[in-house]
Structure formats: structure tokens, C-alpha cells
Amino acid sequence: MLNIQPIESEPTWNNFLLQQNSNTFLQSWQWGSLQATEEEKVRYLGIFNGTQQIGAGLLITVAARRGKFLLCPHGPIITKDEHSLPALTAYVEYARNIAKEDQAVALKIAPLFIANVANQKMFQDLGFRPAPLHIHTEETWILNINQSPDQLLAGMRKTTRHAIRKAEKEGVRIEITRDPLAINRFWPLYEKTKTRHDFTPFPKTFLEKQFTMFNKDADHAYLAIATHQNQDVAAGMFIQFGKTVFYHHGASKQLSSKISPTQLLQWRSIREAISRGATRYNFWGIAPENSPSSHPFAGITTFKKGFGGQAINYLHAQDLPLSWRYWPLWFVDTYRKTKRGF
């Protein structure tokens, strides 16, 4: 019989996840610690078959204005496919009791399960329904960087290679830094990007805490900053967890010239990831396949795919209603989805 046990040791928690080579940092101890600084209640839950751990699922109690809910971001992580249903069942039953304790109206899971009929049915049979909104990236673009630089360049779109070479020729320089004060250089570019693309930004304090948290005890985060003519023109924040480096935040300013520094910035970051021993480069979110050109992610999707790689599509976020008070939450999220168009 499976049982759930809280885990209180960071090495124990992260070592299990790293053994699974999970394609996310949202289940890491650092991410949970970051949420705790936002005054969210965080639980690190191990799933065991006797004494053998077969799964792990970070569980966060989110105190939203429209009602508390439980959130499992990109989880739970389970060792084998045959363990998926029993492990998920045990996790959900445990979460139900936590929901009563915390007065949460729903359990939201943004799963790292491949999008297919069987996985959707597994959640449906447990009482879940597709959430109105996605929570974390569901369509992601992955590049295998366990290749030589020449092989990686050959796998890129021709226009991407041309943009890299042109930026180098025109004097764009890329700086890689772990200095937390460099967030002060990232932030103005981030604000310009927010204005240009009209998205809801993370607060500066959250970005500062995220960068600091992942660099607290190890070198797990870095900033890449592109400069041209002594001005910062583009930047990215990157997180490493295990053998994967994630492109999590990006920012840039529009240049009057035809120089595009962002391709060179990514190329330099890919080379940094290789030097760190990473074998996988996760460009994070892209637009779903066959999305219209008006989709907000259309441009960034074309940009990311230019480096080569492949898409991985995860199951859409799932909601388990636990109270009638879930429905006002559902209504607000449905309205938000309709308003923003995706």
C-alpha cells in the first residue's frame, strides 16, 4: 500500500528529483523555498511504496483573493509509468485532507505528464476537469546540447546562424554573471519588454529572490546580458537544475539598426550551459501547434525554434473541485481566459 511522507531534507528531496532527470525546476526545493518567502504554505511530499520512494510532489497552498487552492507545479514526479495511477491516487487523497486543514477549495495540478488520451483519462477518473487557464508552461521547446558547437550551429535555421554572426560582427558583447546586483540591469529591459508585449510581469522583488534562492548554496542561476555600443540591449535569466538549463525570463529593447542581439545571447547561454555539464536546454514555453499568427507566443515560438530542437507537450492543467466555492474561482479564470484569448 502506498503512503505519503513529508520530506524535510533538501538533499533528500532534490537528489530524488535529479535521479529522475525531471524536466522542470518547479518541483525543486529551491522553488518551494521561494514560494515560502511569498507567504505561501509549502509541503514537500514523498510518495512511498513501503520504504521505497516512487514519487515526489511539492504542494503549495496558494492564498488567492478569490479563494485558497492547493497547487502542485509540474508534478508529481513519479519514477515509472506503471506507478502513475496508484501514486497519483495516493497523492490526491492526501491532498484532500490538507485541503480540509487549509480550507482550500480545489487542488490544481500542472502535470509533467505527456499530453495523451490515457493520461487525460487517468485524471478524469480521479475527478479532475481541465482548468480554465494554464498555470505553468505546457508546450515547451527542448534542445539536446550534448553535441559539438558545429553540430548545434548546423541544426539551426539559416536566419538564426546569420543573426548570430551579424551580431558578433557588429560588436555585440555577451556577459555571463551571477552577481545579484545585475538584476538592476535586467529590470529596465524587462519593463520595456512588458510594455511592448503587454504581459503581466513578475515583480522585481520576486526576480531578485528567485535569482538569489537558486544561487544560495550552489551555482544554479545566471544572467546573460547583451551590450551594444556600451548599452544593455537584451538579457535573460537562466536556471539550472541537474542536467538541464532553463531559459526562464527574457528581456530586450528595440534597436533602430537591423542587429538582433537575442540570438547571440541565446547562443552564448547555450555554450555556458554546455560548460556547466548540462545536456538539455529548455527554452520554456511556446505556442501550441497550429496556433494562429495572432497568438501572443507566435513570435517567440518562431525565435526559439530557430535554434533547432523538438517540442514536448504536457497535459493541460487539471482542477479537482473540493467545494462549491471552487465555482466562483472557475468563473473568474474562465473570464480571464476569454479576455486574453488563450
Cell 477518473 appears where?
125
* Residue 182 DSSP one-character state: G
Tens digit of pLDDT per residue, the chain (342 long)?
899 999 999 999 999 999 998 899 999 999 999 999 988 999 999 999 999 999 999 999 998 877 899 999 999 999 999 999 999 999 999 999 999 999 999 999 999 999 999 999 999 999 999 999 888 888 999 999 999 999 999 999 999 999 999 999 999 999 999 999 999 999 999 988 876 666 677 899 999 999 999 998 778 999 999 999 999 999 999 999 999 999 999 999 877 678 889 999 999 999 999 999 999 999 999 988 877 877 777 888 999 999 999 999 999 999 999 998 888 888 777 767 666 666
What are the residue ranges spanned by the domains of the chain? Answer: 2-137+314-340, 140-313
Cell 501550441 appears where?
288
* Residue 298 DSSP one-character state: H
Pairing of strands 77-78, 231-241: unpaired
Cell 505527456 appears where?
114
2-137+314-340 CATH: 3.40.630.30
Contact assessment for residue 69 and residue 106, using Cβ atoms and an 8 Å cutoff: yes
Angle between helix 29-37 and helix 204-214 axes, rounded to 10 deg: 140
Instruction: Establish whether domains 2-137+314-340 and 140-313 are of one fold.
Output: yes
pLDDT for res 196: 67
140-313 CATH: 3.40.630.30
Residue 133, H or E segment? none
Angle between helix 204-214 and helix 183-197 axes, rounded to 10 deg: 130
Does the model's pTM come out above 0.75? yes
Residue 236, H or E segment? strand 231-241
